[in-house]
């Protein structure tokens, strides 16, 4: 026997997820493996006509307590945990007539699925806490030097292939890799249970112990820069509309920066009920617009800042049609990636056949954007040696509770633009200033250390379009100089949180310049 190979003569199968079970068991039988099983797994294999024996034949003890106790027995765990290279272990097995088990196939009760299923009762959730399964898995994984353990149906094909290659044996490296997956499987399972009980017993919004569970989705070519390594991890149970759950229809592999920008594009564009398009550059919107048709919305978003839009990431809240695709192909435009609920077939043909950038542009189908769909409840930010956690800024107030504090009231059209501006500014890095006009973003001042510099930058970007535009600020104006700069450019209305010790001076400046000023009482910093 080749060193490191361990023959598989006897297998114990006890699975909740029956996917691929019968074909895998059939493959084991063809290799001469003796099968033992429990409960529902036994019935499935027996109905498939496979020769399988019940675990009770090994234990000499029936399943009891509605199946709560069936594999918790020394004849099972000694058969798994015995070291094949220790004579005293082998003597004990012989004395007690225990036959070794070489392969354990086990995945656990669907606790997470039942917990997340609408209408599940506490009793149903508790009943799906597996006891025997984790014990089987841990025992087999601990003794991986002699025993193999499978916890995921996706592992069946590779294990069968290797068994056939090595005439019914598995390599040490494979057993070790399967053991690592098994311990991850049990650890994730226990984290779900611990989190459930923590929420039952702890009324605080943030847990005392934070256990994050993500699965590696793909390795990336590099991180923010070519000398940095990177990978994309996803939440296994997250089913909402997101970049992580989107289907990549076309284009080059997504980069680290693409994913960040696509996430920002989707977060902003889903805020609007009207057809909307946004263009993200370096995690900030440089273009955004709403219109009655998506093609018009995209065209106006691009016109907001054509220079910055080059090489940007586009988000749409409607399926991309042929008219919109043709707008995107105009001379001088280059798009890195597009995310939208869907792409019509003609639009796909247009976008993917464009010379030079057509073969490379990434197209992501996100699915239908639903305001009541699942959203991530928390934001996380890693700092060296620690982690910051906060609830996500999902507030969509539409200025319903805002107060007009100036003498002049905004006009109806100004109110529309103020709502639009207030929505966009939430997605701009602080200090953030945006100028909008007729449902179009015309100027952005992002990430400036001084708020008045952000105003000047937004005004410079807008140019003549600042005349008659409205301004939104993500936080209060600390001085009246912001208003004075806005007035020079022709801004007619401003929306900001208010709350500065100099609010009276700022209001007075607005009144002097006949600018309508709205206070929201809500800040939207985005550091």
Which sequence positions are flagged as catalytic? Answer: 142, 282
Pairwise CA distance, residues 441 & 457, whole Å = 14
Neighbours of 190 (CB within 10 A): 15
Spatial neighbors of 296 by CB under 8 A, at least 6 apart, are 275, 289
Which runs of E-coded beta strand occur in 246-293?
247-250, 276-281, 284-290
Helices (H), 110-208: 111-116, 122-127, 132-142, 156-165, 172-201
Torsion of CA 152, 158, 104, 64, to 10 degrees: 40
Cα–Cα nearest to 288, from 434, 394, 486: 434
- Residue given tokens 């009793």 in the structure block: 123
Other C-beta atoms lying within 10 Å of the C-beta of residue 97: 9
Matching residue, tokens 């991180």: 223
- The answer to whether 285 and 441 are in contact (CB under 8 A) is yes
- 167 neighbors 3 (Cβ within 8 angstroms): no
Angle between helices 21-30 and 156-165 (to 10 degrees): 10
In three-state secondary structure terms, 453 is: helix
Maximum Cα–Cα distance for the chain, whole Å?
99
11's tokens: 């297998």
- Cα angle, residue 357 at apex, residues 356 and 359 outer, rounded to 5°: 90
CA dist 214 → 150, 230, 232, 270 (Å)? 20, 15, 9, 25
φ, ψ (nearest 5 deg) of residue 451: -65, -35
User: Which of these, 151, 173, 147, 169, lies nearest to 160 by C-alpha position?
Assistant: 169
Instruction: Read off the tokens for 78.
Output: 């000694």
DSSP letters spanning 34-48: EEEE-HHHHHHHHHT
Other CB atoms within 10 A of residue 396 CB: 11
Question: In angstroms, rounded to a whole number, what is the distance separating the alpha carbons of residues 13 and 35?
Answer: 7
> In the block, which residue shows the tokens 């930010």?
381
- H/E stretch holding 461 reads helix 451-462
Q: Cα(491)–Cα(236) distance, rounded to whole angstroms? A: 47
Q: Which residue has 């945006």 as its token pair?
A: 434
- What is the C-alpha separation between 505 and 478, in angstroms, rounded? 9
Which residues make beta-bridge pairs with 281?
Answer: 284
């Amino acid at each position: 026997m080749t060193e490191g190979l361990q023959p598989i003569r006897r297998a114990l199968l006890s699975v909740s997820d029956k996917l691929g079970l019968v074909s895998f068991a059939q493959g084991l039988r063809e290799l001469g493996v003796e099968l033992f099983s429990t409960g529902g797994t036994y019935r499935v294999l027996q109905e498939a006509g496979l020769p399988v024996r019940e675990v009770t034949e090994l234990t000499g003890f029936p399943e009891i307590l509605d199946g709560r106790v069936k594999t918790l027995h020394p004849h099972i765990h000694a058969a798994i945990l015995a070291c094949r290279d220790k004579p005293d272990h082998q003597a004990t097995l012989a004395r007690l007539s225990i036959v070794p088990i070489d392969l354990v196939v086990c995945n656990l009760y669907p606790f997470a699925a039942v917990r997340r299923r609408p209408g599940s009762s506490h009793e149903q959730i508790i009943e799906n806490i597996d006891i025997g399964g984790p014990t089987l898995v841990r025992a087999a994984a601990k003794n991986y030097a002699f025993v193999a353990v499978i916890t995921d149906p996706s592992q069946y094909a590779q294990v069968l292939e290797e068994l056939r290659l090595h005439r019914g044996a598995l390599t040490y490296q494979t057993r070790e890799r399967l053991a690592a997956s098994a311990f991850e499987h049990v650890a994730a399972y226990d984290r779900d249970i611990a989190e459930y009980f923590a929420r039952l017993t702890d009324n605080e919004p943030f847990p005392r112990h934070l256990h994050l569970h993500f699965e590696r989705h793909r390795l990336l070519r590099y991180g923010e820069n070519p000398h940095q390594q990177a990978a994309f991890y996803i939440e296994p149970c997250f089913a909402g509309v997101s970049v992580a759950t989107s289907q990549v229809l076309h284009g080059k592999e997504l980069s680290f920066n693409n994913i960040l920008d696509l996430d920002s594009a989707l977060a902003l564009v889903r805020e609007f009920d009207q057809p909307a398009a946004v263009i993200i550059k370096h995690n900030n919107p440089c273009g955004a617009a709403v219109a009655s048709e998506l093609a018009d919305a995209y065209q106006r978003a691009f016109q907001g800042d054509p220079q910055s839009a080059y090489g940007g990431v586009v988000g749409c809240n409607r399926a991309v049609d042929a008219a919109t695709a043709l707008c995107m192909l105009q001379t001088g435009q280059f798009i890195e990636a597009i995310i939208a609920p869907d792409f019509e077939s003609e639009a796909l043909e247009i976008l993917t056949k464009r010379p030079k950038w057509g073969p490379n542009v990434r197209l992501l189908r996100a699915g239908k954007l639903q305001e009541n769909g699942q959203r991530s409840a928390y934001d996380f930010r890693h700092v060296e040696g620690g982690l910051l956690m906060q609830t996500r800024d999902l507030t969509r107030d539409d200025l319903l509770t805002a107060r007009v504090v100036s003498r002049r009231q905004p006009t109806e059209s100004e109110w529309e633009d103020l709502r639009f501006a207030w929505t966009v500014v939430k997605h701009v890095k602080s200090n953030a200033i945006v100028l909008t006009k007729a449902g179009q973003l015309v100027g952005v001042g992002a990430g400036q250390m001084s708020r008045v510099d952000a105003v000047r930058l937004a005004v410079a970007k807008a140019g003549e379009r600042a005349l008659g535009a409205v301004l939104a600020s993500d936080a209060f104006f600390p001085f009246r100089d912001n208003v004075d700069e806005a007035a020079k450019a022709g801004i007619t209305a401003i929306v900001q949180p208010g709350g500065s010790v100099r609010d009276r001076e700022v209001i007075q400046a607005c009144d002097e310049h006949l600018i309508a000023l709205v206070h929201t009482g809500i800040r939207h910093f985005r550091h």
